[in-house]
Amino acid sequence: MSNTVPTGYAPLNSESLPAYLVNKLPDQLKLGGNPEDWKVSEVGDGNLNLVFIVEGTDKTIVVKQALPYVRAAGESWQLSLTRAYFEYNVLDVEARFAGHGLVPEVYFYDKNMAIFAMEFLHPHIILRKELIAGNKFAGLAEDVGLFLAKTLFNTSDIGMNAEDKKALVSMFAANHELCKITEDLIFTEPYFDAERNNWTSPQLDEDVKRVWQDQEMIQVAMKYKFKFMTEAQALLHGDLHSGSIMVTETDTKVIDPEFGFMGPMAFDIGNYIGNLMMAYYSRPGWESDEIKCRDYQEYLLEQVTTTWQVFVSHFRQLWDEKEEGEAYPVELYQNGLGSEALAQAQKAFFATLLEDSLVNAGLEMNRRIIGFAGVADFKDIEDVELRASCERKAMKLARELIVNAAQYRNIADIGKLANTYL
């Protein structure tokens, strides 16, 4: 993939987008009304891209266009347009295995303009906003656990034939720019005085300095950076946090996978757990009633536990019923060693995956508190002293998860651990 801007590329805006769409929308996709009458709103509030909502008389769609730089940083941070290609293809693969019940439908992709159109999700709201508001969703953990199980199993060597798996590795290996961003922002920069770091100062100055001097924690971070760079286990969403999930009371959709690549399964799982734990520690900044605050924190811990349990249950079921996949081959286990040997192999697999997921959760928490691109859970707490207090407690859990993850063999242990730092 080239970093050069294709001939004819130009960033679109609310005025120019309708004329562009007239010649690009599939024939079967009718928005209704005349293009000049469509209502177009630019709603992108993320770090990377332009995002438009285009509303006709009959149908509404979302159009997403990559910019040749990081939107949150400006033109000084150049970035290839190819991320639109990767996001489109990740959505395609995710939909193939998880279905459009969990992933939005994509209507078209235009390589030269680094743009694609997709399903407008309504009345869905970004999960992070709902967590800050203290809202609960009965099926959230089941949906996210199922999404993780289906996408990670079916794109791994356990569930996918070797030829197709290697083709995915080849396709997404070119997403090196966004991988480099992850490698820097999550695994490296929080652990030294990097220019892009952005923590609550001066309140956390001493806490951050202790992180930079924590050789034990930094050594683990470097170990997991290496794993991130070298373990092509499955196709990852690559940025699975509460800002990349949209929800209603009955529906969950996973969005924004432009960071997708073939990497370690624990990265996606850990990122999501880490974001739930940040919501947990930020809760006193959003709810002053102590009883209501504790109730919602317990709900968040239940989300962590149930998401992992659902993931394991569905992943194991897919594994038990698989017909292909060179890892743990059917010929050797189902038809040879038998179910007990398979169960032993699965137990060891999930034990390692849990440990790795907890480490990644801690790394994600440190990144969001110390590094670039913090989360609204903490950053939007207006009382700076209260914000710092919440973040400091989260940093304590983060260190414990990074350094001592192997001690926690059951996901339910994390709830008990989290409570010790309140």
Closest-CA residue to 418 (of 306, 220, 216, 280): 280
Which residues share a beta bridge with 253?
A: 246
Report residue 3's pLDDT band, with 50, 70 and 90 as the boundaries. Answer: low
Report residue 78's pLDDT band, with 50, 70 and 90 as the boundaries. Answer: confident
* In-domain check, residue 12: no
Average the pLDDT over 107-130 and give the result: 96
| Same-domain status, 132 and 112 | no
| Same-domain status, 247 and 338 | yes
| Same-domain status, 28 and 166 | no
Structure confidence at residue 46 (pLDDT): 61
Which residues share a beta bridge with 54?
A: 40, 61
Average the pLDDT over 408-419 and give the result: 96
Phi/psi of residue 113, each to 5°? -95, 0
**Which of 119, 136, 155 is the last residue before a domain boundary?**
119
CATH code for position 80: 3.30.200.20
| Same-domain status, 61 and 164 | no
* In-domain check, residue 10: no
| Same-domain status, 180 and 93 | no
Other Cβ atoms less than 10 A from the Cβ of 202: the count is 9
* In-domain check, residue 363: yes
Q: Decide if 227 contacts 115 (C-beta within 8 A).
A: no
Tell me which residue range forms the domain holding 159: 125-419
Q: Tell me the pLDDT tens digit for each residue of 230-269.
A: 999 999 999 999 999 999 999 999 999 999 999 999 999 9
Q: Decide if 145 contacts 310 (C-beta within 8 A).
A: yes
- Cα dist. 82→109, 176, 186, 206, 401 in Å? 12, 10, 22, 40, 35
> Average model confidence (pLDDT) for the chain?
95
Query: In terms of pLDDT, which residue wins out, 202 or 80?
Result: 202
- The percent of residues in the chain predicted with pLDDT above 70, rounded, is 98
* In-domain check, residue 395: yes
In sign, the C-alpha dihedral spanning 177, 191, 76, 72 is: positive
Report residue 79's pLDDT band, with 50, 70 and 90 as the boundaries. Answer: confident
| Same-domain status, 102 and 145 | no
How many domains are contained in the chain? 2
Closest-CA residue to 277 (of 205, 357, 197): 357
Structure confidence at residue 2 (pLDDT): 47
| Same-domain status, 235 and 151 | yes
CA distance 313 to 318: 9
| Same-domain status, 323 and 404 | yes
CATH code for position 253: 3.90.1200.10
* In-domain check, residue 334: yes
Closest-CA residue to 26 (of 115, 106, 104): 106
Structure confidence at residue 106 (pLDDT): 96
Radius of gyration of the chain (CA): 22
pLDDT over 80 at 73, yes or no:
no
Strand order in the sheet with 49-55: 39-42, 49-55, 60-66, 115-119, 106-110
| Same-domain status, 369 and 252 | yes
Structure confidence at residue 9 (pLDDT): 95
Structure confidence at residue 36 (pLDDT): 94
Q: Decide if 287 contacts 293 (C-beta within 8 A).
A: yes
What predicted TM-score, i.e. pTM, was given to this entire model? 0.95
Structure confidence at residue 47 (pLDDT): 64
Residues 6+ apart with CB under 8 A from 212: 191, 192, 193
